[in-house]
Structures are given as structure tokens and as C-alpha cells.
């Protein structure tokens, strides 16, 4: 604005509506019944995004399973860690896949994880695609205390914010969702309600308005 005299317009990469999709069954995913099912997904599951701490948290916590779906530079290390800890029955890896399949897996979960660490500005002020995928899937979010992520989670009361990305803090949040069915159901409903607002069908309207204003200025 200071350089060009133009007010910037923020267009968020929100997820499309997933109303037409249905979740996979636990059997289809190879997940045992009776476990709280977590998901960590995305195309950038990299160093300093909490994957290592999450695996340690699952190791600390009973009756919990985890799906890690996607790709990233830390995936080989996470697989080695899972094998070393003997967690292969509780932690499953899925490769990158089309968005609708990924959302169907997310819809099957009880909560999704956003565990970026505050190590640089890119992470600190990020709004990860997976955050909006979890909301599109209508599941609660367990997230680290980064400002933009916290703003979404707290504004829509659709998840839990943990004070630090440590196995112990992640485990506490997991246990809270595992043992408090009323809380889990309330956060799930709030996430579903948020998905009616935070979707690409609504966000794209800002793009259309922006293009129209630019075209009008060119014509006039």
C-alpha cells in the first residue's frame, strides 16, 4: 500500500467443500476399532513440523492410532522411528494422493494435527493447507501456538492449542480428546460449522470481485 497506493487483497488457499464425500471405514484404512484416530497430512511434512514429537506422543499414549499421509523430507526418518519404537501397528503411512481421497481419510479421523514450530517467519505466519483440509473434513484440530493458526482455531472454537511442540504437550491434548467425548463432539461440530464459511466456494468470490475492479479500472 505504501509503495503503490493499492490496498492488498488476501486470498487464502481454502479447501473446497467436501459435502459430496464420505469417510473411509477403519477397516479400509487398516486401523483398529476403539482407538482415537489422528491424522497428519500434507505435501510438506518436513523437518520442524512436529512429526518426530507426534510419534513420541503416540508412543506415550494408549488407545491412539495415527495416519501420516503425504510427502516431505522427514518421512524416511519418521518411518525409521516408527519401526524402531515398534509402532507399525498403530502408525500407518500413506503416500501423496488426490485431494478427494485425502479428505476422505481425514474425515475418518477424530482429529488433525498442525504442529509447525516457531523456527522462522515462514512457519510463524503460515496458514497451512492441512488446517483448512481438517476443517473441510469436519474434524477437530490440535495445533501449535502460532498466531495465524491460533486465530482460526480460537475464532471458530474448532480445536485445541498446545503451548509447546513437545511429546508431553501433544499427548495431553490427545488424551483430552480421547477421554472427553463431549468436548470432542463439540469441537467436531464447530469444525463442521466453520467449513460452511471457510471454503473455496466463498473465498473465490473475493477473486472475482478483485478481477472485476481491475477490469473496470482498465476500461475506464
Beta strands in the chain (DSSP E): 36-42, 64-70, 91-94, 111-114, 141-144, 159-162
For position 90, what pLDDT does the model report?
Answer: 98
Q: SS3 string of 87-120?
A: CCCCEEEECCCCHHHHHHHHHHCCEEEECCCCCC
Q: Which three cell numbers stand for residue 110?
A: 477424530
What is the average pLDDT across 201-215?
Answer: 93
> What's the whole-model pTM score?
0.94
Question: Per-residue pLDDT tens for 104-158?
Answer: 999 999 999 999 999 999 999 999 999 999 999 999 999 999 999 999 999 999 9
Instruction: Please name every residue paired with 111 in a beta bridge, in sequence order, or none if there are none.
Output: 38
- Domains of the chain, first to last: 26-219 (3.40.50.2000)
Question: Per-residue pLDDT tens for 26-76?
Answer: 999 999 999 999 999 998 899 989 999 999 999 999 999 999 999 999 999
d(CA 39, CA 102): 10
Amino acid at each position: 500500500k505504501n509503495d503503490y497506493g493499492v490496498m492488498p487483497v488476501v486470498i487464502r488457499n481454502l479447501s473446497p467443500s467436501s459435502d459430496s464425500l464420505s469417510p473411509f471405514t477403519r477397516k479400509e484404512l487398516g486401523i483398529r476399532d476403539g482407538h482415537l484416530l489422528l491424522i497428519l497430512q500434507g505435501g510438506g511434512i518436513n523437518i520442524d513440523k512436529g512429526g518426530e514429537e507426534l510419534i513420541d506422543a503416540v508412543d506415550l499414549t494408549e488407545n491412539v492410532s495415527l495416519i501420516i499421509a503425504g510427502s516431505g523430507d522427514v518421512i524416511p526418518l519418521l518411518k525409521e522411528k516408527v519401526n524402531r519404537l515398534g509402532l507399525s501397528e498403530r502408525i500407518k503411512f500413506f503416500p501423496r494422493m488426490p485431494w478427494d481421497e485425502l479428505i476422505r481419510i481425514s474425515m475418518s479421523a477424530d482429529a488433525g494435527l498442525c504442529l509447525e514450530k516457531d523456527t522462522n517467519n515462514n512457519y510463524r505466519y503460515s496458514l497451512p493447507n492441512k488446517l483448512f483440509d481438517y476443517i473441510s473434513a469436519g474434524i477437530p484440530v490440535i495445533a501449535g501456538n502460532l498466531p495465524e493458526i491460533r486465530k482460526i482455531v480460537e475464532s471458530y472454537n474448532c480445536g485445541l492449542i498446545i503451548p509447546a511442540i513437545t511429546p508431553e504437550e501433544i499427548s495431553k491434548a490427545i488424551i483430552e480428546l480421547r477421554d472427553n467425548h463431549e468436548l470432542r463432539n463439540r469441537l467436531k461440530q464447530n469444525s463442521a460449522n466453520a467449513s460452511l464459511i471457510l471454503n473455496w466456494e466463498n473465498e473465490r468470490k473475493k477473486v472475482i470481485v478483485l478481477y472485476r475492479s481491475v477490469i473496470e479500472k482498465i476500461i475506464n
